[in-house]
């Protein structure tokens, strides 16, 4: 007990000696304001972007008025890839404010806040209040976690649920009393139950592996068989089975459950017997070492600081002052990374639930260097500042290219230049201040690095988003298609999920579709539909085109006749977004 009290006193003393002018209230307000502005720009200042967001938007919009709330619907057909919690919550603002992108993403602000608070409280328990602030800031600004937070998808609530579940797991595993252990594990199970309704059983991966790893590492096998750890499964069962029951009672309930739990869950890790469109293991194929190779990108811009934390933990492995923080951080990050490396499928967002572990690891390091970083850690701080300066240069180049490509159609030239210039200049100044403070004022250096990154996400990024919206404006194309097909049957040829969603969301809900590929059977169906309704219109997605950059020539048009031309169709009208999707509206050749 004396050692614990002494360690807390040393932590508090080191924090007071290292904060300097960074007072608690001002630091907290600055942290919150910077994160809130960065989140709002990414969530509320742009439209729906491909991939996935148009599909998620249609699912949420349908959920706002469909009768059966148990199974999400994509363009009127059951979509059994994900449970419905994300769509339930997104449907609430859509019901009152309409299907605008900013309205659908309003719940993302809640998810991001819960994630930051969960990791912040966890880091605070492990390594002190300053570490809590660093943990909240870090988990919110990793490149991958920021992408998850601002994207309309099921990963944002999943990350929030895992963050809270890890907090509960830590409280329960290191509890000093039975009541505290029960409270911690109960919190974990509530979070896991809600996380299951967001993205199925993947929510169990990180907390379960963390507890198992800690039990083995610390040889505390008894912690893995305590009744307090498992009694909360009743709460999870009540949450999950209630939804399962409503799915089962609906039409095709057994088939929907099979897709939810077999094709989409087991099928992510190994090939299963299923139709081609339900073979999830065939998409996003994994390769050995993919996650490890891409990990530096996921952890940007704090990659070098995580490496510095690993170096410090290794050098102090026999004399760690707070081994719990390091062990819990590694148990929550490395086993999921190893497990995902052996999965059949791989996407960057699959690793998002492991990010709280990396954030906790970096928070421990930030607290541990308060007495003074060594020369390698100073170099890591300065190299991170250099990376942010490079980010300033890349943002400047992107803003110049975008302006050169679309200057004639842009409005608000003055605001574009002003916001971009001020943001780039402020980020550069803050990065240089971090470089100067790295040796003697590590707290100031970390604070300046965080602010520099947030300034990039708020200022220059907002102008990039505004222009990219022109390349992603699927609503414009859909409304033109709706106007050109008034009173005529519309058939979608081999549509992807984005095409189905944009037509359903913006054009019309009553369409037919011919699934791809357009083989002999598909061409035969085209003939049958054309014979039954000669005035039918067929919509097909054309091959993509490369961005029209000044040094790049336009890609040549298709040379070989497409399959729909063999079916007797010809192009009636083209639709295209600048540097974006292209569609053709087809009619029957006379």
Is residue 97 within a helix (H) or strand (E), and if so which, with residue range?
A: helix 85-97
How far is residue 149's CA from residue 107's CA, in Å, rounded to a whole number? 10
Residues 30 and 136 in one domain: yes
Q: Which residues contact 223 (CB under 8 A, 6 or more apart)?
A: 173, 211, 214, 215, 229
* Closest C-alpha among 142, 160, 165 to residue 86: 160
How far is residue 429's CA from residue 321's CA, in Å, rounded to a whole number? 35
Residues 221 and 351 in one domain: yes
Tens place of pLDDT for every residue, the chain, 590 residues? 434 434 443 444 344 444 444 566 777 788 889 999 999 999 999 999 998 999 999 999 999 999 999 999 999 999 998 999 999 999 999 999 999 999 999 999 999 999 999 999 999 999 988 899 999 999 999 999 999 999 999 999 999 999 999 999 999 999 999 999 999 999 999 999 999 999 999 999 999 999 999 999 999 999 999 999 999 999 999 999 999 999 999 988 999 998 888 777 766 655 556 555 555 555 667 777 889 899 999 999 999 999 999 999 999 988 887 799 999 999 999 999 999 888 777 788 999 999 999 999 999 999 999 888 999 999 999 999 999 999 999 999 988 888 766 555 555 677 888 888 999 999 999 999 999 999 989 989 999 999 999 999 999 999 999 888 988 999 999 999 999 999 999 999 989 999 999 999 999 998 999 987 777 888 888 888 888 888 999 999 998 654 454 444 544 444 556 777 777 889 999 999 988 899 999 998 87
Distance spanning both ends of the chain, measured CA to CA:
90
Residues 158 and 284 in one domain: yes
How far is residue 501's CA from residue 506's CA, in Å, rounded to a whole number? 8
Question: In the prediction, which pLDDT does 275 show?
Answer: 58
**Crossing angle (nearest 10°) for helices 155-173 and 355-368:** 60
Residues 548 and 400 in one domain: no
Could you write out the DSSP letters of every residue in 546-584?
Answer: ----TTSPPPPPP-SPPHHHHTTEEEEEEEE-TTS-EEE
Of 451, 471, 491, the residue that ends a domain is 471
Phi-psi region for residue 568, left (φ > 0), alpha (ψ -120 to 50) or beta? left
How far is residue 336's CA from residue 357's CA, in Å, rounded to a whole number? 10
Contact 26, 443 (CB under 8 A): no
Could you write out the DSSP letters of every residue in 123-155?
Answer: HHHHH-HHHHHHHHHHHHHSHHHHHHHHSSSTH
Could you write out the DSSP letters of every residue in 423-474?
Answer: HHHHHHHHHHHHHHHTTT-HHHHHHHHHHHHHHHHHTHHHHHHHHHHHHS-H
Of 350, 368, 386, the residue that ends a domain is 368
How far is residue 8's CA from residue 498's CA, in Å, rounded to a whole number? 53
Residues 444 and 479 in one domain: no
How far is residue 20's CA from residue 391's CA, in Å, rounded to a whole number? 29
Residues 102 and 229 in one domain: yes
* Closest C-alpha among 470, 460, 453 to residue 399: 460
Q: Which two tokens stand for residue 522?
A: 């598909």
Residues 78 and 109 in one domain: yes
Determine whether 345 is exposed, middle or buried from the number of CB atoms within 10 Å of its CB (0-12, 13-18, 19+): middle
Question: In the prediction, which pLDDT does 206 show?
Answer: 97
How far is residue 190's CA from residue 101's CA, in Å, rounded to a whole number? 29
Reduce the DSSP state of residue 513 to 3 states and report it. strand
How far is residue 460's CA from residue 429's CA, in Å, rounded to a whole number? 15
Question: In the prediction, which pLDDT does 394 show?
Answer: 92
Phi/psi of residue 541, each to 5°?
-85, 125
Residues 228 and 307 in one domain: yes
* Closest C-alpha among 533, 588, 544 to residue 565: 588
Residues 493 and 549 in one domain: yes
Question: In the prediction, which pLDDT does 6 show?
Answer: 42
Residues 437 and 528 in one domain: no
**What pairs with residue 490 in β-bridges?**
537
Question: In the prediction, which pLDDT does 81 show?
Answer: 87
Cis peptide before 51 (omega within 30 of 0): yes
Is residue 512 within a helix (H) or strand (E), and if so which, with residue range?
A: strand 512-514
Range of the domain at 353: 2-368
Neighbours of 497 (CB within 10 A): 19
Contact 481, 504 (CB under 8 A): no
Residues 206 and 281 in one domain: yes
Cis peptide before 301 (omega within 30 of 0): yes
Rg for the chain (alpha carbons), in Å?
Answer: 26
**Crossing angle (nearest 10°) for helices 155-173 and 178-199:** 160
Question: In the prediction, which pLDDT does 409 show?
Answer: 58
Split into its structural domains, the chain has a count of 3
CATH of the domain at 490: 3.40.190
Residues 401 and 356 in one domain: no
Neighbours of 284 (CB within 10 A): 15
CA distances from 524 to 495, 540, 563, 569 (A): 17, 17, 11, 13
Backbone CA torsion sign across 541, 543, 547, 548:
negative
Question: In the prediction, which pLDDT does 11 show?
Answer: 42
Of 412, 437, 471, the residue that ends a domain is 471
């Amino acid at each position: 007990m004396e050692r614990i009290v002494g360690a807390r006193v040393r932590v508090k003393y080191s924090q007071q000696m290292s904060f300097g002018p960074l007072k608690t209230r001002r630091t907290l307000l600055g942290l919150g304001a910077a994160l809130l502005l960065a989140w709002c720009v990414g969530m509320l200042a742009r439209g729906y972007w491909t991939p996935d967001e148009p599909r998620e938007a249609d699912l949420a919009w349908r959920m706002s008025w469909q009768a059966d709330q148990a199974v999400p619907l994509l363009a009127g057909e059951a979509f059994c890839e994900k449970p419905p919690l994300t769509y339930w919550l997104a449907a609430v603002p859509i019901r009152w404010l309409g299907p605008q992108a900013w309205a659908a993403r309003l719940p993302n602000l809640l998810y991001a806040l819960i994630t930051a608070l969960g990791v912040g409280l966890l880091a605070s328990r492990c390594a002190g209040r300053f570490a809590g602030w660093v943990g909240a800031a870090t988990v919110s600004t990793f490149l991958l976690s920021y992408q998850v937070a601002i994207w309309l998808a099921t990963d944002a609530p999943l990350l929030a649920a895992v963050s809270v579940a890890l907090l509960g797991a830590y409280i329960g595993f290191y509890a000093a009393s039975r009541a505290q252990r029960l409270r911690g594990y109960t919190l974990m199970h509530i979070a896991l139950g809600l996380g299951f309704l967001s993205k199925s059983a993947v929510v169990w991966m990180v907390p379960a592996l963390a507890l198992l790893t800690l039990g083995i590492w610390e040889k505390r096998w008894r912690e893995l068989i305590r009744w307090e750890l498992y009694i909360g499964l009743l709460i999870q069962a009540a949450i999950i089975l209630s939804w399962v029951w409503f799915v089962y009672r609906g039409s095709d309930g057994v088939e929907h459950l099979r897709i939810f739990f077999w094709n989409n869950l087991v099928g992510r890790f190994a090939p299963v017997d299923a139709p081609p469109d339900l073979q999830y293991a065939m998409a996003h194929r994994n390769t050995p070492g993919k996650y490890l190779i891409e990990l530096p990108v996921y952890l940007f811009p704090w990659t070098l600081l995580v490496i510095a934390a690993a170096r410090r933990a290794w050098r102090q492995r026999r004399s760690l002052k707070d081994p719990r923080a390091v062990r819990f951080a590694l148990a929550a990050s490395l086993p999921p990374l190893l497990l995902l490396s052996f999965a059949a499928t791989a996407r960057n967002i699959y690793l998002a639930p492991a990010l709280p572990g990396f954030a906790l690891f970096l928070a421990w390091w930030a607290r541990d260097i308060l007495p003074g970083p060594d020369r390698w850690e100073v170099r890591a701080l300065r190299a991170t500042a250099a990376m942010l300066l490079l980010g300033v240069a890349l943002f400047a180049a992107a803003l110049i290219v975008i302006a050169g490509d679309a200057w004639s159609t842009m409005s608000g030239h003055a605001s574009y230049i002003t916001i971009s210039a001020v943001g780039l200049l402020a980020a550069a100044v803050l990065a240089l201040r971090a470089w100067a403070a790295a040796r003697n004022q590590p707290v100031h250096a970390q604070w300046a690095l965080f602010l520099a990154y947030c300034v990039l996400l708020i200022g220059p990024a907002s102008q990039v988003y505004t222009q990219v919206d022109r390349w992603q404006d699927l609503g414009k194309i859909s409304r033109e298609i709706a106007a050109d097909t008034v009173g005529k049957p519309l058939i979608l040829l081999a549509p992807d999920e984005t095409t189905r969603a944009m037509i359903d969301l913006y054009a019309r809900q009553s369409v037919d579709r011919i699934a791809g590929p357009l083989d002999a059977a598909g061409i035969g169906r085209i003939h049958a539909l054309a014979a039954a309704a000669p005035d039918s219109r067929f919509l097909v997605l054309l091959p993509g085109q490369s961005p029209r950059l000044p040094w790049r020539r336009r890609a040549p048009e298709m040379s070989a006749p497409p399959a729909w031309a063999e079916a007797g169709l010809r192009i009636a009208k083209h639709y295209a977004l600048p540097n974006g999707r292209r569609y053709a509206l087809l009619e029957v050749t006379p």
